[in-house]
Structure 1
Amino acid sequence: MDVAAKLTSKGQITVPKSVRDALALHPGDEVVFRVHGDRAVVAKTPDFLELAGSIAVPAGRQGTSWDRVLRETHRVHAESRR
């Protein structure tokens, strides 16, 4: 679906109703803009609380602090780039 909208002098755009409906956007929802070359894609920001429990966590990793997860992820990523 391609839908046009005009940019105001303040840099604002009204998201057309057909796009709001297609993305199930409601007042207060957040969106993210992803820029690819000379194009931008707008997407609804997921509600991360709704994702809770959607990924299985191995029994040995349950209860791991988020800080530790981030440290280990960064370490593994850095090692893979060497």
Structure 2
Amino acid sequence: MPIISSEGQILIPKFVRDVLSISSGDEVDFQISGNQVFLCKKKHKKKSFRKYFGDLSNLQGANPDKIIEELRGKSDDISS
């Protein structure tokens, strides 16, 4: 039976960590119902990577070499 330390910490038994697929560094959530406490692995919402492409949507289908050339300038434009 796990015991709460003086710092309020508790060791989660290995079989519970295995069932919940919890490992070091994972976040957990406690849910309370009456006098019972439930331990749940915190689920992270998958963030849509598409929102980061919002400003680049106008480049869809464009030639990558042309995009780089526009961003960097032509090689003969570089001053030494």
Give the structure-2-normalised TM-score: 0.55
Query: Aligned pairs, how many?
Result: 49
Between the aligned partners of 2:13 and 2:46, the Cα distance in structure 1 is 27
2:27 equivalent to 1:30? yes
Tell me which amino acid in the other structure corresponds to 1:28. Answer: G
Between the aligned partners of 2:25 and 2:46, the Cα distance in structure 1 is 16
User: Which of 26, 36, 41 lines up with 1:39 in the alignment?
Assistant: 36
User: Where in structure 2 are the equivalents of 1:48-59 lying within 5 Å?
Assistant: 48-49=45-46
RMSD: 1.9
Tell me which amino acid in the other structure corresponds to 1:48. Answer: K
* Max Rg structure: 2
Gaps of 5+ in 1: 53-62, 64-82
4+ residue segments displaced more than 6 Å: none
2:5 equivalent to 1:8? yes
Between the aligned partners of 2:14 and 2:38, the Cα distance in structure 1 is 17
Identity of aligned residues (%): 35
Tell me which amino acid in the other structure corresponds to 1:37. Answer: G
Q: Determine helix, strand or coil for the equivalent of 1:48.
A: coil
Gaps of 5+ in 2: 52-80
Tell me which amino acid in the other structure corresponds to 2:11. Answer: T
